[in-house]
Amino acid sequence: MSTATIFQIHLVLGYVPWLLLFGSYGWPWLKSMDQVEAQRVIATLHSFRFFGLVFLIPGVVGPNLPAGFASFAAYFDFATGLLAMLALLTVRIRPLFWLFVVAFNLVGAVDILVDYYHGNQLGLAPLAGELGAVYAIPIIYVPLLMITHVAAFYLMVRSRGSQPALQRDVAVSR
């Protein structure tokens, strides 16, 4: 089996165990929480995305990893992590908290989608070995991140009563 085929299988199958785990345990737990607490849990997970800067460290990734892929992935992960941390730090200032929750989810989801696109356009699959030690990030960590972005967006628009939590918290703080 080629490197490209193995990498593509890993990318797809990386979602299966996370979806099973999230569906059985994570989603019921998040849905049972207050909206703010659920978003804090998701933000805490995403606050570790500063780790994406590792894509820029020679020796951790191979020299033939496409630079366009590595730098975009690294800096957008870093930005997402910082925005998630800002959400956590501003939880008592609800309008600011919700601004950062929306921001880190938008930036983070765009990062993942564009990374998939860039990886495909740049022919990353045959070069998967150039990911070196960070090979596990797109296979193990990224699926959970994407699943939680989808969950966060759903929770933001889900209504409790007549208004989604985001609108309710902003209206209450005025």
Q: What is the pLDDT of residue 162?
A: 45
Q: Residue 42's pLDDT is what?
A: 98
Please, are residues 27 and 48 in contact by the beta-carbon 8 Å criterion? no
Residue 168 has pLDDT above 80, yes or no: no
Contact 149, 108 (CB under 8 A): yes
Token digits of residue 28: 């019921």
Is pLDDT above 90 for 97?
A: yes
Does residue 174 surpass a pLDDT of 60? no
What pLDDT, in 10s, does the model give residues 98-148? 999 999 999 999 999 999 999 999 999 999 999 999 999 999 999 999 999
**Type of residue numbered 113:** L
Tens digit of each residue's pLDDT (9 = 90 or more) over 54-92: 999 999 999 988 888 999 999 999 999 999 999 999 999
pLDDT bin (cut points 50, 70, 90) of residue 30 is: very high
Assess contact for 62 and 133: CB atoms under 8 A. Answer: no
pLDDT tier at 163, thresholds 50, 70, 90: low
Give the model's pLDDT for residue 68. 84
Alpha-carbon torsion 94, 95, 96, 101, what sign?
positive
Q: What is the pTM of this model?
A: 0.89
**Average pLDDT value for residue range 34-40:** 96
What pLDDT was estimated at residue 159? 55
**pLDDT value at residue 164:** 56
Average pLDDT, the chain: 92
